[in-house]
Amino acid sequence: MPDLFVKSIADRIIENVERVILGKRHEIQTTLLALLCDGHLLIEDVPGVGKTMLARAIARSIGCSFRRIQFTPDMLPSDVTGVSVFNQKTREFEFRPGPIFAQIVLTDEINRATPKTQSALLEAMEERQVTVDGVTYPMARPFLVLATQNPIEYEGTFPLPEAQLDRFMLRITLGYPQPPQEMQMLDTQRQSHPIEQLDQVISSEELLQAQRRVTEVYVDNLIKEYIVALVSATRRHPDIYLGASPRGSLALFKASRARAAALGRDYVIPDDVKALAEPALAHRLIVSPSARIKNVDARAVLKEVLDSVPVPGARVRVA
């Protein structure tokens, strides 16, 4: 019988966040998958569509510590990680932790900071630790970075380096709401914003338990071969200068397990992989200059890859 604990956790968070973010159930679900498999999420879209509000709603729904970092061009790496300050009384240096030391960190408009400051997040996101003045400080668990960014065509933005993009498990876009949802949004915010009444629906211990349950989801070798075949196809595609990395294969593998668990299954099917191929891989692909001239983007390449790579057939699972 399937373990429905993760599904219960997912349904509670989604229902709670939908009180604030209207008409974006698929995007909320994808955000939650990053949370369930202990990954980081990049939310990219134009200003004003609810990127920051989605991150705040997720944080309010979970009993975790939360900090927000507003990235600006003059921000320094020490403004993120913290700094050692000399104490006149003890005659010793004391470390004052920066805002990165929280369980859920919202890095707002991350691509408005310079690449030097963006790189301050790399160690924390991958190794779950921060090193300052030769001393390493571990991060609390769970640890999740929810980053928002404006499209790179906007003024005052710095493109995220490939190494930074590769550390985000998934990337999503929100898009504009449909007219009925926008009308509903106007009604719900007549007096106050609904996020002010948003309650916590799960604890950090429940989230950690759900993350452990996700790692127990069964993945058949045929599904693993399918994931590897998709990633390998991006590396051979003529319109791609740089294909998805092995970290992309791991992201697609982990996110597929999380999707299966969130839907109440204890096994992954090809539909899980296909549904998450774009959020897990698109931001890792670098389109060649000749393809960009023809207005080819990573999403179009991935659609072509999904259409060309054969889906694995059914196989009897032997206990």
Q: How do residues 272-285 score in pLDDT, each as one tens digit?
A: 999 999 999 999 99
Residue 14: HSE in the Cβ half-sphere, 13 Å Cα cutoff: 20
Q: For 246-253, what is the mean pLDDT?
A: 94
| Cα distance between the two ends of the chain | 14
User: Of the candidates 174, 164, 137, 131, which has an alpha carbon nearest to the alpha carbon of residue 40?
Assistant: 164
pLDDT at 319: 47
Does 140 have pLDDT greater than 60?
A: yes
Instruction: Identify the architecture of domain 217-312 in CATH.
Output: Orthogonal Bundle (1.10)
| CA distance linking residue 92 with residue 100, whole number of Å | 23
When the candidates are 3.10.20.30, 3.40.1190.20, 3.40.50.720, 3.40.50.300, the CATH number that belongs to 1-213 is 3.40.50.300
> What are the pLDDT digits (tens) for 41-53?
998 888 778 888 8
For residue 97, count CB atoms less than 10 angstroms from its CB and return exposed for 0-12, middle for 13-18, buried for 19 or more.
middle
Q: How confident is the model at residue 258 (pLDDT cuts 50, 70, 90)?
A: very high
Q: b/e for 157-190, b at 16 or more Cβ within 10 A?
A: bbebeeebebbbbbbbbbeebeeeeeeebeeeee
pLDDT at 316: 45
Tally of residues, the chain: 319
Q: For 107-134, what is the mean pLDDT?
A: 85
pLDDT at 279: 94
**Mean of the per-residue pLDDT values of the chain:** 87
More confident call, 234 vs 292 = 234
pLDDT at 171: 92
More confident call, 119 vs 69 = 69
Task: State pTM to two decimals.
Answer: 0.87
Q: For 28-38, what is the mean pLDDT?
A: 92
Q: Which of 95-109, 129-143, 161-175, 267-281 has the highest mean pLDDT?
A: 267-281
Q: For 50-77, what is the mean pLDDT?
A: 86
Q: For 15-23, what is the mean pLDDT?
A: 89
Q: Where in the chain is the domain with CATH 1.10.8.80?
A: 217-312
pLDDT at 276: 95
pLDDT at 156: 62
> What are the pLDDT digits (tens) for 228-238?
999 999 999 99
Q: Give the DSSP letter of residue 120.
A: G
| Contact between residue 280 and residue 248 where contact means Cβ atoms under 8 Å apart | yes
pLDDT at 209: 93
More confident call, 193 vs 266 = 266
